[in-house]
Amino acid sequence: MLSFTDLKICAPRLVLAGILLFISSAAQARQGPPAAYWVLLRDKAGTHLDAARYLSAPAQARRQRQHLPPCDSTDFPVRPDYVRQIRALTDTVTLVSRWFNAVACRATPAQAAALRRLPGVRAVELRPAAPLTPASQRPAPADWELSAADRQLAQRQTGSLGGPIFQRAGLTGKGLRIAIFDVGFIRADQHPAFLQLFAEKRVVLTHDFVRNQPNVFVGGSHGTEVLSCLAGRLPDGTPLGLAPEAEFLLARTERNLRELYAEEEAWLAAAEWADRNGADIINSSLGYTARRYFPEQMNGRTSLVARAAELAVRKGMLVVNAAGNDGDDETWRTIGTPADGDSVLAVGGLDPDTYLHVPFSSYGPSADRRLKPNVVAFGRVLAAAPEGYSVVEGTSFASPLLAGFAACAWQQERGLSVMQLFQKIQQSADLYPYFDYAHGYGTPQARYFLPDKTPLPTPATFDITRHDSILTVLIRPEAAQVAAYQLPLYADSAAGPATAEKAASLPALGREAPVPLLSETARAAPPGPAGSPSLPAHPEYLYWHIADRRNVLRSYEVREVSQRAILRLPLRRLQPGDTLRVQYRGFTQSYSAQ
């Protein structure tokens, strides 16, 4: 331990060292240290693209399916003479973006000035450093031993979206290609949760856009956890996500500790790569927040990644993004970017215990008052971690659950355009047409996409009545029945190792063989009720909000239903044009103030 005397001796030396350091960096600054720049180009005159050669067959099929042109000017290559000129003048070219007709490079101020004078250059913009943070938290250490609660959570994280319904219908994401942008996929290629995935060579391509090399099984395990929420399995074959038979493109776009603005470029490069290689869905469990932006800039038009995500949607890819984990951060609280993008499906987190918004999940709306998050899924899940399986928290994991859901829905209705799918996913959610800025439209439901399950009109469950200056919401007697919940013999008896024989038949962890195809086992199984009998019932809450004439919410609330007279609202709380909207047990009713 340093004594005060030691400190007195050390302090001047430290100060001197600091001063020398500053002086040397100041001297270097005068010489012009290299900095990162975007060189925005004027045109693509004279360039051509043979879409059939540039785009992979799945990418061409995706565009054809959605009635998009085979290619447009954003797909054309950047003019090679422009790139050559820039390379000749700069230290390093880090990215050439067709979509933005721009070149990212490192250059000294003098070189940047020379770049500005080039004939094809529209602008040269400085790129400052900023963090891109994985939207997840790890509450508990990983553990190879799975408890009954873990197995139940694994069932419920897919069951809450209607996973078993998709399975019985043979919808497992087959034929869909999903790109995952993340920090790294450590041990994903060796983990027992992905044995089948790798054995069937369904990880089609990998690329590390940070270090520009193919190995993505480095850098961090966040991507491994995210991948497991799409295609991971427990040793007994229980799926952890909804798309265990999809194909995957794994992209590393982020550094784990040293986080730079270059990651936004990497995201863009990965999106272009995913487009070219036929991705149908991009899952991005990442988000930029305070270091680079203000909450009021979360409008989908400011950040590079939000604009890149919008372009990806225009190319026919569904972009699913985690809403963010800043819900309990008073200085930010709202969604990050690119979740703010208008066409980006922002996924919030749901508490598996209460089926309510989990506190850390970022709230909407976007800065321009659009609905965000769009939908929710479990924000606490069982995921494959490098050292086994682990319960992890974060909207990072809600996002891949939803991406898997989207893959199944698209598999069912392959002719949908990306925005039709986007709308349908929102419409399938359990609160729709009701929404709020914590839950969006709620949790999407698989049954909505089954052809023979056209939903019947939901019976009215309550009435809104006006008496003088009070609006009263009264639950109808027929909707006031609370369903009994039958206890299972064992909490995890639905699919877990309920018997000693079944437990004994499970291979040891680390020695698992690929389990039979889930769709085969699911189809072979006798039809049962939707969902697992052991899953606790979804609590029925009453949701209500007040929206203004632009349908922007003024306030919203969720109430526990413990009596039929559930809500009294003084009319003075409604301004002219406002709408009171109430949702209970799938039935939504509105009252508009004149």
Partner 1 sequence: MRPLILPVLLGALLSFFAPASVLAQRVLLRENVADDTVRSTFGPNRAFYNHAYLSYGLVAGPAGGAGAALRYGRSAEVQLGLRNKWRISQPLALGLDVRYARPVYHLAQTGQKTVPNAVLHRREYLALPQAQTEAFVRLSYGRRGNAIGRYVDALGWGGWVISSVHHYEDGASNGAKKVQTSERGLAYVNRWTYGAGARLGSGRYALVGRYRLSHVFRPGTQPRYPELPRWLLGLELSWL
- Which residues have a catalytic role annotated? 182, 222, 396
CB 109, min distance to partner 1, A: 12
Please report, in angstroms and rounded to a whole number, the separation of the first and last CA atoms in the chain.
Answer: 73
Amino acid identity of residue 243, one-letter, is: A
Among 37, 99, 273, 363, binds partner 1 (CB under 8 A): 363
Among 52, 57, 113, 126, binds partner 1 (CB under 8 A): 126
Strands 345-350 and 318-322: parallel
**Helix or strand or coil: residue 31?**
helix
CB 476, min distance to partner 1, A: 7
Distance CA 234, CA 458 (A): 37
Residue 506 backbone class (left: φ over 0; alpha: ψ -120 to 50; beta: rest): beta
What is the sign of the dihedral through the CA atoms of 166, 396, 248 and 494?
Answer: negative
| Interface with partner 1, residue 91, by CB under 8 A | no
| Interface with partner 1, residue 290, by CB under 8 A | yes
Binding mask 149-188 for partner 1 (x = CB under 8 A): ----------------------------------------
| Interface with partner 1, residue 463, by CB under 8 A | yes
Among 267, 273, 293, 434, binds partner 1 (CB under 8 A): 293
CB 362, min distance to partner 1, A: 11
Distance CA 349, CA 453 (A): 27
Residues 304-337, buried b or exposed e (16+ Cβ, 10 A)?
Answer: bbbbbbbbbbbbbbbbbbbbbbbbeeeebebbbb
| Interface with partner 1, residue 31, by CB under 8 A | no
Stretch that binds partner 1, among 81-89, 102-110, 342-350, 470-478 (CB under 8 A): 470-478
Q: Which is nearer to partner 1, 186 or 371 (CB)?
A: 371
Spacing of C-alpha 459 from chain mean position:
33
Among 6, 19, 122, 459, binds partner 1 (CB under 8 A): 19
Q: Which is nearer to partner 1, 452 or 468 (CB)?
A: 468
∠ at Cα 400 (396, 403), nearest 5°? 140
Strands 35-41 and 579-584: unpaired
| Interface with partner 1, residue 472, by CB under 8 A | yes
CB 367, min distance to partner 1, A: 8
Q: Which is nearer to partner 1, 155 or 337 (CB)?
A: 337
Distance CA 566, CA 32 (A): 68
| Interface with partner 1, residue 24, by CB under 8 A | no
Please report, as residue ranges, which positions from 553 to 572 form the binding site for partner 1 (by CB under 8 A): 553-560, 562-563, 565-568
| Interface with partner 1, residue 348, by CB under 8 A | no
| Interface with partner 1, residue 38, by CB under 8 A | no
Among 52, 91, 113, 128, binds partner 1 (CB under 8 A): 128
CB 240, min distance to partner 1, A: 28
| Interface with partner 1, residue 140, by CB under 8 A | no
Among 271, 320, 438, 580, binds partner 1 (CB under 8 A): 438
Distance CA 307, CA 268 (A): 9
| Interface with partner 1, residue 296, by CB under 8 A | yes
Q: Are 104 and 97 in contact (CB under 8 A)?
A: yes
Stretch that binds partner 1, among 78-86, 311-319, 329-337, 479-487 (CB under 8 A): 329-337
CB 157, min distance to partner 1, A: 21
Stretch that binds partner 1, among 57-65, 306-314, 402-410, 547-555 (CB under 8 A): 547-555
Q: Which is nearer to partner 1, 191 or 439 (CB)?
A: 439
Sheet holding 318-322, edge to edge: 203-208, 247-252, 177-182, 281-284, 318-322, 345-350, 375-378
Residue 285, C-beta contacts closer than 8 angstroms, at least 6 positions apart: 134, 135, 136, 182, 222, 226, 321, 322, 394, 395, 396, 397, 399, 400
Beta bridge partners, 591, equal 580
Query: Which two tokens mark 290?
Result: 């305070």
**Helix or strand or coil: residue 336?**
coil
Q: Which is nearer to partner 1, 8 or 414 (CB)?
A: 8
Q: Are 340 and 300 in contact (CB under 8 A)?
A: yes
Q: By CB under 8 A, how many residues form the interface with partner 1?
A: 58
Which parts of 300-394 fold into alpha helices (H)? 304-314
The DSSP symbol for 436 reads B
Distance CA 61, CA 232 (A): 27
| Interface with partner 1, residue 353, by CB under 8 A | no
Per CB under 8 A, residues contacting partner 1 are 8, 11-16, 18-19, 22, 26, 126, 128, 130, 289-297, 331, 333-334, 354, 356-357, 363, 365, 436-438, 463, 465, 467-468, 470, 472, 474, 476, 541, 552-560, 562-563, 565-568
